[in-house]
Amino acid sequence: MKRLTISHVLSALIAGCLLPFAFSPHGIWPLAIVCPAVLLHVWLKQNARQAFISGWLFGLGFFAVGVWWVFISIHEFGNTNAVLAFLLTALFVIFLGFWFGVQGVLFHWLNRSRLALWFVLLFPASWLFFAWLFEWVLTGFPWLQLGTSQVASPLAGYLPLFGVLGTSGIVALCSALLVSIIESQITLKTRITSLFLFIIIFALGGLCRTISWSGQLPGKPMNFALVQGNIAQSLRWDPNHVDAILAKYRRISTPYFKHNTLVVWPENALPIPASYAGGYLYQLHTLAKDHQTTLMTGMPVAHQEDYYNGLLMLGQHTGYYFKRHLVPFGEYLPYDNYLRGLINFFNIPMSNFVPGPANPAPLTVGNLVIAPLICYEIAYSSLLRTDLPSADIILVISDDAWFGDSAAASQQIEISRAQAIASARPLLAASNNGITAVISPKGEITQRAPRFKTAILTGTLTGYRGATPWVAWGNSPVMLFIVIVFIASLFTRRKRKNA
């Protein structure tokens, strides 16, 4: 009978705690291969119950270190006392970690093949399945996907082929190959073969990085200005500071209307509903139009009895976009009738938004089509793909001041880099206090404003056209791989059971 040893438990927990360091701002991307390999090595020596415990501990460590910053928004800006904020954060982390435990059970249950290295395929298939679930279960939380950690590694070459999800599977495949290389019970010939495949995967990834999947549009580049207002979160929703905030954005932006085709303000730059700021918006519209400039600003928008987290276009070109994927407990409150008023966190400002239409009208500036996303929508690959390949540029506006000086903003800009590579599109990111940046279709940050300072990034940008394989196929190849491996595992499990 297999026993749950302290070494197995500690190995899984420590590996989970180290995995977030594979992501920005640390960027130690090899950990994204090594840490899951440690978990797999432990699972191969355990039964289903033990695999569940080890997987859950791995997940606890991973999310406790990786997304602890939700505590900041609950405690500091949700006006919730530290103990209760800690408990709510702990519940969130425990729930997320639970799914790694379930993955361990599924992996153990399906890993019954007589083929010694079947786990090399089953492990990435199971990882992919649960990574896919993280985009959908209870509105989803596809944060810290393994694929996003590889923007600086040769494996980033697989992003245009398979997207963030598929690249996460490639990383997990490398983890499984690493286990087969170091596992002493596997024959030397098989270990050498695994090493060869490991090297080939990296070599092909590096080769794919050199491919240009899209091409620049002809014509004059667009001049742009990204405005980082750096408004303290404690002041943003204070009615006594609204006039000062509106005045600041107009004051620092007006000089840039003269020389730029596009001026962008971040998410909820204007902290009042558009219907309450009619005169101010009309003045901005007139000013921008006089200079043949388009202003894009984030702000709440009221329509009938509903409120949207919106992006408005004023000036030379007009239009709007309403955020489609809202943050639960941040932008809307599930079970509102029961939870509203229960604790201060459930009463944070503007937590009664409704989602925008699933298929919004495209936004255009001149001859360029822009794919707009608000804040953590950039993590939802399927959402971005609905705007491709027609979009020439990706625009992300955000307000990461909710999470203080934590890793949240760095993690988000890394996700943006991964999506830029996957779609082969340039990306503009405008944030309240950072990270405001310009990202090339290769995922390189070409310009970046300092955090926690009022700053304006200016430059020129050309749109790109073309469809990467991921844009054309989506996650279909990934889902096909999962189905084939799972069906084959079920078949071999039944065959072995009947033998």
For the chain, what are the domain ranges?
6-212+474-498, 216-467
**What is the Cα–Cα distance from 253 to 107, expressed in whole angstroms?**
55
Question: What is the model's pLDDT at position 238?
Answer: 87
Q: Which two tokens stand for residue 471?
A: 């844009």
- Predicted confidence (pLDDT) per residue in 475-498, tens digit: 999 999 999 999 999 888 766 665
**What is the Cα–Cα distance from 180 to 187, expressed in whole angstroms?**
9
Question: What is the model's pLDDT at position 349?
Answer: 57
Q: Coil, strand, or helix at residue 294?
A: strand
**Given the residues 135, 174, 375, 414, the one annotated as active site:** 375
**What is the Cα–Cα distance from 316 to 365, expressed in whole angstroms?**
8
Query: Does the annotation mark 414 as catalytic?
Result: no
Give the number of other CB atoms < 10 A from CB of residue 264: 29
Question: What is the model's pLDDT at position 492?
Answer: 80
**Given the residues 267, 331, 377, 414, the one annotated as active site:** 267
- Predicted confidence (pLDDT) per residue in 228-249, tens digit: 999 998 888 888 999 999 999 9
Instruction: Please say whether the beta carbons of 71 and 45 come within 8 A.
Output: no
Question: What is the model's pLDDT at position 345?
Answer: 52
| 216-467 CATH fold | Nitrilase/N-carbamoyl-D-aminoacid amidohydrolase (3.60.110)
Distance set, CA 328 to CA 331, 353, 358, 441 (Å): 6, 10, 17, 31
Query: Does the annotation mark 323 as catalytic?
Result: yes
**What is the Cα–Cα distance from 429 to 164, expressed in whole angstroms?**
19
Which among 193, 164, 198 is positioned nearest to 385, based on CA atoms? 164
Query: Does the annotation mark 267 as catalytic?
Result: yes
**353: β partners:** 307
Q: Coil, strand, or helix at residue 492?
A: helix
**What is the Cα–Cα distance from 168 to 158, expressed in whole angstroms?**
10
**Given the residues 35, 174, 208, 323, the one annotated as active site:** 323
**What is the Cα–Cα distance from 295 to 298, expressed in whole angstroms?**
10
Q: Which residues of the chain have pLDDT under 70?
A: 1-3, 113-116, 330, 332-351, 494-499
